[in-house]
Structure 1
Amino acid sequence: AIQIPKTISEEELSSLKTSEKFDDSLKTEEYTTPDLNAYPPDYQSEDYIVPSDTNNNLFYAEQASTDLSESYDAKSLDEPFFDETKQLNLELSTELGLIQQEYAYDQKGSNDAEINVYITITLTKTFIISIDFTHYPERPVITFPDEVKKILRDPYRTLNTLREWSSKKPPHIVDLLHELEKNLFFIKEIEIQSKRISGEYQSKKIPNSLTALKVHLMTYGFKEYTMVIDLESYPNPPVIDLSPELQQIIQISTTELDAYKNWKENESEPVEIVREISWLVDKNSRINFEIDLLKDHYKNIKYEPSTAILHVEMKGKMKTEDLTFEFQINLPIDYPMKMPEVKVVNEFEI
């Protein structure tokens, strides 16, 4: 058989020649080591310091360490383990922190324990209480405004916290403020009762008083009467001071008023007493007005306020001109809303 030799293309020949040249270059290339001495030195090597180097005292010196420990031991023996002044300041800081959580206050000076505390009872009433508790746990020194003294009399006696203060088992300053606020809080209720009175009647507060009102009553014939009502004893019945003219027209004492006699603590309200007085003024003013009208025609008229009975003598006319008629008029409690009862007292023949 005849074998035909393979032919090699030109591309294959060129790649073979290139690989041969690459191999020759690898064989002929030599690597040379650079000469470090040919370059100038850029830095100098630093000497490392070791702790054992006695010529360098950078880290510590054995002798100095010994002296430091000795001085520390001597100082620690001289100082007390418990600093009483720091403990006292801690107590004052604790008291101040408790106050700050619940009340607004101002510092009076450089002493943190001298402060003005603001106790707000209503939207329009705030009391400023000056407290000095520098010597706590001893009893604090408190300056009360005059308005508080009028309400509590002597706070050092009326406030249990102050009266029973013990430096061995002292209460917190904030506990004292709680009791004071509770005692003053009744002013809020008094303000509510005052607004109920002023909502129905013309009234104004008495100067220098937190609990008293001056009430003006307008009555029949547009005549004005005044009275002073003091709510300091609330929820007990108020203290009422009537003007002489008003006392004369209602004709009974305030303790005889139904609203006063039937007073129920925590249920009755002072405005109920004012209403009854106002009603008596209207009623008796109307009666007095009608009596004055009767007097223009009849001479013998007698009125008994305690029984609300009116006696009238009337002379007859024409056929009865020789007769005198005696009438008794019983006025009901609700007069003039209810009709009076009239009857003839004497007997006669026509």
Structure 2
Amino acid sequence: MQPSSEHASATRRPGDDREIETLVEFDEVCGRGALAGSRVQAVDLTERTSALLAADVTGAVFLGCPMDEEAAAKVRASGALVFPPVPGLPFNPYRGLLYSPDDLFAGLADGGYEATPDAHAYEWFQRTKADGDVLSSMLRAIHDDSISDALDELLDGARVVGVMGGHTMKRGTDAYAGAARLGRSLARAGFTVATGGGPGAMEAANLGAYAAVFDDAMLDEALELLSGAPSFTPSVTEWARAAYAVRELRPSGGMSVGIPTWFYGHEPPNAFASHLGKYFANATREDGLLARSNAGVVFLPGAAGTVQEVFDNATPNYYESRGEPTPMVLVDRAHWTDHLPVWPLLRSLARERPMESRIALVDTVEEAPDALAALLAGHAGPA
């Protein structure tokens, strides 16, 4: 599937002509005679044969770009490298842009979730992840590296706050509504909200960021509509269609990022993150999500996955000696001290380390934005 053009302006660094990720960019660069040395990613060039035949492509690289055979032969003969599209794949390993919800959920309306590219990519992953085929593992690695590159371009200069939490949080609950209000507050404060891109708390935070550009009543209406399909089980189709019903009522919502994975195939991506960086390798996805949350991380109640994320984030903070540790706000005192005693261990690690003044524990999700702001301002958070 060719990536959506809607991401082009958001994912390109100003003045960067070396990477070409859309047909519009190709025409601009080619028109200036600057194609030599370029890296062209996943752009359909079948209608640009005359331009390719006339262009200086010395040192250029074409990654997964369909083109006429005459053009392909010419650019190879001129010293360019051509990595042709791989037939039969449900994804493009060379894609230059992040996914949109429409990319991953194409076909949902007519064929249900099972007909979508997201479901097909998961089926391919299940067939190939343990077969020992070096081609399959190479294609997964290329795809994931392309996603990382696209995320770096999108988030260049952004103040990113990660919101972590459990995937089992259901629509229609107070916890889900609170996580959505948190996402809205962070987005309105000028942060880019980033989540694991899945259901539950992750979806709620992305929904809040989506709602940030509308009046407050929009979120209340969305929460009511979504409550009719509270979970992605037993039907991902109905769960996703409810999200699209919200999007159709209020299109063009606010921007946020989701970073999901096909490793957990039972967790579909959510439709409220405007940009989805979906990975095959979960470890790469987890590390990248936390590393890009440069303005802090808010941890909502969760289980094993969220606990892992707390300490994955705490480890570089613990050893940070030159810069400032990333602020960490844990929400729900009873959960993090009694149910899962993460906070006492985190405080013990933080004692007499720079991170000690960059962690906070709050009782309610409504307190999280102020706690984060205080930590960013250099004030010790509540314990």
Normalising by structure 1, we get a TM-score of: 0.21
Write 1 or 2 for the structure with the bigger share of strand: 1
- Please say which structure displays the higher CA radius of gyration: 1
Normalising by structure 2, we get a TM-score of: 0.19
Higher relative CO (Cα under 8 Å, sequence separation at least 6) belongs to 2
